[in-house]
Amino acid sequence: MRFAGMIFGLLLIGIGGGVLGASLMTRWMFLPRLDQMSLKVDRFVSGAKESPATKIIPVERRPITPSYPSAFLSRRLSPVALLWNRGGVGGSITAEEIVGTDRERGFAFAVSSDGWFVTPSGVFKGMRVKDIGVMWNGRAFPVIQAVRDSATDVTFFKIDARELPVATFVHAQDVVSGMAVWLEPRSKYLYPEVIVSVEGGRRTQARPSERATRRFIISGSSNQRFGGGAAWDGDGRLVGLLVTKSGEGWSVLPGSNLSGALSSLLSTQRIRHASLGVQIADASRVASVDASGPAANILHEGDVIERIERDTLDGTADVGEYLLDYSPGANVTVYGQRKGKSFQATVTLGSVMTSEPLK
């Protein structure tokens, strides 16, 4: 009896296995296989109906990148500070009580660890230095010294602070339209933006060759009223100083254009730039030559400067920007066109004082 039961059980198992195998074979033969399946998607193109085959999109598992670049995540303190009108204010005050009021003057960012900041010169316009306060890292500081640089139209100022966070500069010639940047119009408020265009020095009105005019136009989603904040690249390097905002976005002064003026200020307490001694129109055309300047009897009115050493004037940069890279007394070779013919000439650069101490 027990043996008959075992035989019956094995029979049932065999029948069940056969049914399951037949079912799987049928599904494999008559149903579409997933790895060979495609989806049909109807669409209309120029009024004609098409039905292209669209393959299934594979799903890849990758780590989600952080919202901010790692350079920002690792930075504990922002170099951006708030400037305000401290005249007649007694006691303590916070940044929240300043921003959005008539006491707000603008922003600045640190350019040296021992207390030097930079901001657009308009922030100090009509103000006495002693009436400008600086709010940084939750503390209020008075300005103890301020110097305007006419070549770049910025003001450097100093507060009594130490060990400030500073950043390296991105060279202006490495910045192109379409580049992704991060705007920090005020401390720790970061906005992902993009460089819309690079404005060069094409101006019909003649200006001194020592003045740099390149600006970046960066999209701006923030409603910040004042300039002085910073634009960063994805590695946390400084792209430039926010100057003014218009319908197109922020006009940004390249950060690398500030390095020469800052070095001169820190070493001599004055700002000197290399001088060519000519007036420039349309980025590279010599409008006039200073009779007592470095280029006298070397360059002539109407000359078109095409290159200074290895730097080519491509319309986005002007003579003044390239001169910022040289020290007074340096010998440079200038290449260009004169009355339809190529020429080259060597000029020993002079020196021009562009600093104006503010009171």
Per-residue pLDDT tens over the stretch 82-132: 999 887 665 577 877 787 788 889 999 999 999 999 999 998 988 899 999
In a domain, 228, yes or no: yes
Per-residue pLDDT reduced to its tens digit, 227-243: 899 999 988 899 999 99
Domain boundary among 158, 189, 204: 158
> For residue range 170-211, what is the model confidence (pLDDT) as tens digits?
988 899 999 999 999 988 888 899 999 988 655 667 888 888
129 within some domain: yes
- What burial class does residue 239 get, using C-beta atoms within 10 Å of its C-beta: 0-12 exposed, 13-18 middle, 19+ buried? buried
* Domain endpoint, select from 158, 184, 199: 158
d(CA 231, CA 191): 9
Q: Are residues 92 and 134 in the same domain?
A: yes
Alpha helices in the chain (DSSP H): 2-30, 70-73, 259-268, 319-323
Please indicate, yes or no, if residue 287 is contained in any of the structural domains.
yes
Contact 331, 321 (CB under 8 A): no
- Indicate if 191 and 150 belong to the same structural domain: no
Residue ending a domain, among 201, 234, 259, is 259
Cβ–Cβ < 8 Å for 185, 242: yes
Count of other CB atoms within 10 angstroms of residue 134: 25
Query: Can you give the residue range of the structural domain that contains 332?
Result: 271-357
Instruction: Judge whether 10 lies within some domain.
Output: no
We report the CATH number of the domain holding residue 146 as 2.40.10.10
What pTM does this model have?
0.76
Number of domains in the chain: 3
Q: Does residue 346 form part of some domain? A: yes
